[in-house]
Amino acid sequence: MNKIGKYFNTFDITRGLLISFLLSAFIYIHHFNLSYPILNTLLGLLGLYLLLASERKSWFWSGVFVGLFWFWWIILSFKHYQMLWAIPIGLLFIALIYGIIFWAIAYLSEKLASTLPVQALSVLILKGLGVLAISYIHPFSFDWLKPELIFIESYLGIEKWQFAIILSAVILTLWQSRPYYLLLIVLAYHPLPKNVPTVDKDLQIISTSIPVEDKWKESHQPLHFQMFFEQIDKAINADKKLIILPESVFPVFINHSQEIIDKLQARAQKINIVTGGLFADGTVPRNSTYIFTKNHILVANKVVLVPFGESNPLPDFLSDWVNEVFYDGAVDYVASADITDYKVEGKVYRNAICFEATSEKLYKDHPEHMIVLSNNGWFVPSTEPSLQKLLLLYYNKKYDTTIYHSINMSPSYIIQDGMIMEVE
């Protein structure tokens, strides 16, 4: 208890809070449209400097608050299950996971460095390697913590080699107490995008604003469905060639609804339609994308499921209990084994549904174009849509994949050539 008590002192908690604020500021700066490359660059560098200069107790609190600042919105989903009592438990769970990860990096670095020559430099290098490796640590398959993301809207690059240069510059500055070593970060410089990409005028991306509670009520669905068909008709009248609607915008098993299929297929004679819906593969439920073209219907199933939200990552005996207690005995969705690419009007698109678009797995073979369908209704109002957008910008920069994102409960957008363009 005395050892644990040593972590609860004002200095370490305050220092951890400051560090986490600096390492999380880029999310809130973007969320409130206050992003400036020079500001993001300076805040990120200062956050890394203070973190690497800190001892393990401050690392623990830095992890606690980073977890909360980045992912506090996860607990908003509890309100949709009438589980307000679970909110403090969820926050504590998030805080402890990332607090322990950060603490473990500092602890192992300090212990290993004590056996190496030049201990002061060794501990800094090991901590730097730990920060570099954080993006490979995925608690319960959740992989949104990528430290290099702090520079996504800065003058510095987000590739691993660029982040390694930034960390090296900070480490040398701390070791030698000579700020001019920070000049090494010019080797990680990444130019800002200059040319505004042109938006494909043949493409219509739909945003919807349907709260989760209304979305799944059968009594509301006829009105919603009629609205979607009217939007498709409007796109047809505007001579669009492709319309994209959000994730599970038809929250029914479309393959069991001939009426919906007939209505969509009739319209597909005049426009290609990409829409979210459910798919029943026998007794197996899937979260899917339906692609309707003039002479063909393709179903592309989700490959990477949301931890706990769609698939329980716990062992079976715990998973069944959690589903029974927290999700009224609901059955987990099932992921597809294969990534789906499909062609519309001569252009090949990679299919992605919400969470999986932020997974490295979906960028295998560097797809040139990706259509993403999302439902952010579970987490609004919050910073989740902003963090999701920055993660997709990260993958656009890393893989040069143009991303077309149709969303429920937040604005839709296109990401191309390192720029985000919101669409009407």
53, 179: one domain: yes
222, 370: one domain: yes
Which of residues 123, 154, 188 is at a domain's end?
A: 188
Q: Which two tokens stand for residue 287?
A: 């979260």
Q: Kindly state whether residue 323 falls inside one of the protein's structural domains.
A: no
166, 215: one domain: no
Q: What is the pLDDT along the chain (424 residues), one digit of tens a residue?
A: 556 666 678 999 999 999 999 999 999 999 999 999 999 999 999 999 999 999 999 999 999 999 999 999 999 988 887 888 889 999 999 999 999 999 999 999 999 999 998 899 999 999 999 999 999 999 988 999 999 999 999 999 999 999 999 999 999 999 999 999 999 999 999 999 887 777 789 999 999 999 998 998 999 999 999 999 999 999 999 999 999 999 999 999 999 999 999 999 999 999 999 999 999 987 788 899 999 999 899 999 999 988 876 776 665 555 555 555 555 545 567 788 899 999 999 999 999 999 999 999 999 999 999 999 999 999 999 999 999 999 999 999 999 999 999 999 999 999 999 999 998 7
Total residues belonging to the chain: 424
Quote the Cα angle for 239-412-400, to 5°. Answer: 95
Write out the catalytic residue numbers: 247, 302, 354
What is the side-by-side strand order in the sheet with 341-344?
Answer: 341-344, 347-353, 369-375, 402-408, 413-416, 419-422
**Residues spanned by the domain of 386:** 203-303+338-422
Q: Kindly state whether residue 237 falls inside one of the protein's structural domains.
A: yes
| Region for residue 329 given its phi and psi (left: phi exceeds 0; alpha: psi -120 to 50; beta: otherwise) | left
173, 239: one domain: no
Q: Kindly state whether residue 332 falls inside one of the protein's structural domains.
A: no
65, 111: one domain: yes
Q: Global pTM? A: 0.94
148, 44: one domain: yes
101, 231: one domain: no
139, 210: one domain: no
45, 133: one domain: yes
73, 136: one domain: yes
N-terminal to C-terminal alpha carbon distance within the chain = 57
236: domain CATH number is: 3.60.110.10
Domains in the chain, number: 2
Kind of pairing between the strands at 242-244 and 272-281: parallel
List Cβ neighbours of 51 (8 Å cut-off, separation of 6 or more).
19, 23, 58, 59, 62, 127, 131
Packed helices 56-71 and 10-31: angle between N→C axes, nearest 10 degrees: 30
Q: Kindly state whether residue 328 falls inside one of the protein's structural domains.
A: no
Question: Residue 155's closest CA among 35, 34, 69?
Answer: 35
296, 401: one domain: yes
Specify whether the CB–CB gap between 378 and 80 falls below 8 A.
yes
For 403, the enclosing helix (H) or strand (E) is strand 402-408
128, 27: one domain: yes
